[in-house]
Amino acid sequence: MKALPITKNIWWVGAIDWGARHFHGHTYTTKRGTTYNAYLIIDEKITLIDTVYGPFAAEMMERIKTIVPLEKIDIIIANHIEPDHSGALPELLKHCPQAKVYGSAKAGIGLEQHYHLKLDFQTVKTGDKLSLGKRTLTFIEIPMIHWPDSMMSYLVEEQILFSNDAFGQHYATSERFDDEVPQETLMEEAAKYFANILWPFSHLITKRLAEIEQMNLPIRMIATSHGLSWRKNPDKIVEAYQHWAANETKPKVVIAYETMWGATAKMAQKIAEGIADAGVRYELYDVAQADRTEVIYDMFDAKAYIVGSSNHDSGILPNMVSFMEFLKGLHPRNRIGCAFGSYGWSGVAIQKLETILKEAGVEIVQPALSIQYVPDESQLAQCYEFGKKVATLVLNQ
Ligand code: FEO
């Protein structure tokens, strides 16, 4: 376990979680694993930026010890209290009990409520400066990107922005920088991360990015807390965030459904045909089979969502319930959509789907399409027209 230099006297001392396949409980599938990045700054004050997830405390401490003994750490910056960045803090503090911990006011309260420890905690706010000796850190609070305590730290002399969760990716690699990995994979993982975690905070991200721009901080490197850091082209990810946060879309439709005996699936296929014949790209997912993280990633740039479920008892099929609740929490904006499904004797599921879609912020562009039992030829033609209408609206947006 070695520390890896990111520039002179600044070291990556994080952990690589090659085996992670789930994150935030089971809300995010991390098919490429993840990393928890922590950075050690060697100056008159030995400073650690963030820690790692608790089970990886030993890995982080091993890496630090290749540079300095743990008891030499003077300052720990807690940019964010979520356990993937603060979990190793209690174990680390056993070895450097004199270290002062710096973070936002909300971080101070949150750390106490997580770990119930007596910390030497110093509150900082946007614009505060902290001298490390030859270098200076300045702090930028970014509340609700994505927790109330979230903060970034900027190392003035080196022009490095320690951005914590922002600009990260769940992407375990032996490399540490953007220019060392395939760009397509890097941007896919960065977008997936935004879509599944940061999407609900888009409006705040736009605001905070503008505030950071106004601060006129030259940024040579963005050192993230997950995945690769951006040294070749930090502007690339900042510009991508500006576009993503603006909820820009492509002319594309995602159909997401769950079916009990195949009738709703038949409807979905025919709806898809109508979309394709109108000349619009579509993606079709049975959410009982598909990976939700990937479906959301596909919805991230799609203009329209068509959601379907068979009726089951007095509601929607269970995988679709879970999917719709997740989608609702992401608050997609600037989207259109509609609902469909098959039923036996109560079509309540389809109405419920439409309601949740509306609650998610999607503009309903045509009445829900409900078909009793199995669609016949004329009902399949209705499905075809249903899809075609959405595609036409997508093309006219
Ligand atoms: Fe990577 Fe919000 O924790």
* pTM of the entire predicted model: 0.96
Query: Under CATH, what is the fold of the domain 253-396?
Result: Rossmann fold (3.40.50)
Residue ranges matching CATH 3.60.15.10 in the chain: 4-245
Residue ranges, the chain, pLDDT below 70: none
Structure token pair of residue 336: 């259109």
In tens, the pLDDT along 153-165 reads 999 999 999 999 9
- What share of the chain has pLDDT > 90, as a percent? 98
- The residues near 55 (Cβ < 8 Å, ≥ 6 apart) are 87
Catalytic member of 85, 226, 286, 298 = 226
Residue ranges matching CATH 3.40.50.360 in the chain: 253-396
> Ligand 1 centre and the CA of 127: distance in Å?
23
> Ligand 1 centre and the CA of 133: distance in Å?
29
* Alpha helices for 96-144 (secondary structure H): 105-115
* pLDDT at position 203: 95
Atom of ligand 1 nearest to the CA of 168: 1
> Which CATH code fits 4-245?
3.60.15.10
Active site residue 297: no
Query: What is d(CA 76, CA 3) in angstroms, rounded to the nearest whole number?
Result: 17
Pocket of ligand 1 (CB under 6 A): 80, 82, 84-85, 146-147, 165, 225-226
Active site residue 243: no
Active site residue 116: no
> Ligand 1 centre and the CA of 84: distance in Å?
6
* pLDDT at position 1: 87
Catalytic member of 50, 59, 84, 178 = 84
Quickly list DSSP for 182-194: -HHHHHHHHHHHI
Which residue has 């997609």 as its token pair?
332
**Strand 22-23 versus strand 28-29 pairing type:** antiparallel
* pLDDT at position 7: 97
